[in-house]
């Protein structure tokens, strides 16, 4: 459901119209109730270090993305409303449009920097809300982290928001387990909140790249070693960058 607002090499959205953000999110509470029921009945769902999620103020929740279910297992699990950023293809697909639009997801039109998506996410954060982002910009086909896109760093330095890494493990097992009438174990491990300090009035692309990689290493640090991918050299959880 998530997609960063950065340029994604090799990715280009195909859409019938420019989709608008439904800020009112009329069905978010209703859908969150169903998601919590799913956590309880459909899987062994647990959050490690839930106290690391700030209860107030602008927060970016950054997740790894290996399965369609990744954003769904986080959205209703951290104790406060979260606005996901979703690729526009989800709004074009009749199978999920009924979920993402009334949930209040921010549509991201890929292929170039989507300024409207950045503006919407900035509005949420400046109003003290939480935004969910997958910095990789697409699902990893290997199960390990791939390079993050610079949209995360751009948004974080623009708003001064806290960033909370959320490492997700177990979502690829959900459907296979259900077919066997079993419950998959899904774990979300939260890292320590941090901020990306720009230090510059206007950041260069190179500096945004450095900040993004710093953030991705913090995400890698709360994932098992085999899921760290291109950030396999990340220190253990609790490191200081």
Q: pLDDT tens-digit profile of 72-122?
A: 999 999 999 999 999 999 899 888 889 999 999 999 987 667 889 999 999
Mean per-residue pLDDT, 223-228: 96
- The answer to whether residue 57 is domain-embedded is yes
Helices of type H across the chain: 28-42, 70-75, 88-92, 94-103, 115-126, 151-159, 174-179, 205-220
2 or 105: which leads in pLDDT: 105
Tell me if 8 is assigned to some domain: no
Q: Comparing 170 with 199, which gets the higher pLDDT?
A: 170
Q: Cα dihedral sign for 118, 234, 49, 102? A: positive
Q: Residue 28 in contact with residue 103, Cβ under 8 Å?
A: yes
Specify if 23 maps to a domain: no
Is residue 95 one of the residues assigned to a domain? yes
Burial zone of 54 (CB within 10 Å; 0-12 exposed, 13-18 middle, 19+ buried): middle
Q: Are 139 and 65 in contact (CB under 8 A)?
A: yes
CA 222 – CA 234 distance, rounded (Å): 10
Domain that holds residue 85: 28-230
Residue 60: inside a domain: yes
Q: Could you tell me the CA-to-CA distances from 112 to 13, 117, 132, 175, 200 in Å, in that order?
A: 9, 11, 20, 34, 24
Is 134 among the domain residues?
yes
CATH of the domain at 69: 3.40.1130.10
Residue 140 has a pLDDT of 95
Q: Measured in Å, how far apart are the chain's first and last C-alpha atoms? A: 29
> Does residue 13 carry a pLDDT above 90?
no
Of the pLDDT bands very low, low, confident and very high (cuts 50, 70, 90), residue 200 is low
Q: Which two tokens stand for residue 241?
A: 């960058």
For 75, 94, 128, 223, 234, the CA distances from 82, given in Å and listed in that order, are: 6, 23, 11, 22, 27
pLDDT at 210: 94
Residue 39 lies in a domain: yes
Per the structure, the count of domains in the chain is: 1
- State residue 48 phi and psi, 5-degree precision: -95, 130
User: For the whole model, what pTM was predicted?
Assistant: 0.90
Average pLDDT over residues 173-190: 97
Residue 51 lies in a domain: yes
- Mean pLDDT, the chain, whole residue set: 90
């Amino acid at each position: 459901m998530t997609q960063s607002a950065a340029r994604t090499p090799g990715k280009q959205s195909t859409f019938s119209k420019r989709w608008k953000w439904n800020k009112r999110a009329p069905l978010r509470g209703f859908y969150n109730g169903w998601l919590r029921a799913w956590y309880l009945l459909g899987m062994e769902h647990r959050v490690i270090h839930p106290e690391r999620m700030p209860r107030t103020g602008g927060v970016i929740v950054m997740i790894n993305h290996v399965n369609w279910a990744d954003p769904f297992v986080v959205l209703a699990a951290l104790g406060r409303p979260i606005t996901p950023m979703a690729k526009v293809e989800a709004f074009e697909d009749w199978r999920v449009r009924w979920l993402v639009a009334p949930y209040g997801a921010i549509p991201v039109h890929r292929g170039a920097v989507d300024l409207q998506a950045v503006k919407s996410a900035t509005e949420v954060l400046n109003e003290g809300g939480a935004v969910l982002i997958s910095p990789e910009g697409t699902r990893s086909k290997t199960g390990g982290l791939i390079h993050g896109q610079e949209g995360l760093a751009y948004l974080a330095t623009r708003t001064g928001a806290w960033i909370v890494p959320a490492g997700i493990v177990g979502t690829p097992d959900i459907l296979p387990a259900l077919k066997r009438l079993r419950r998959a174990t899904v774990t979300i491990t939260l890292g320590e909140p941090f901020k990306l300090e720009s230090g510059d009035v206007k950041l260069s692309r190179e500096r945004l790249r450095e900040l993004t990689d710093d953030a991705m290493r913090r995400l890698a640090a709360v994932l098992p070693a085999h899921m760290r991918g291109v950030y396999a050299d990340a220190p253990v959880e609790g490191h200081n960058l």
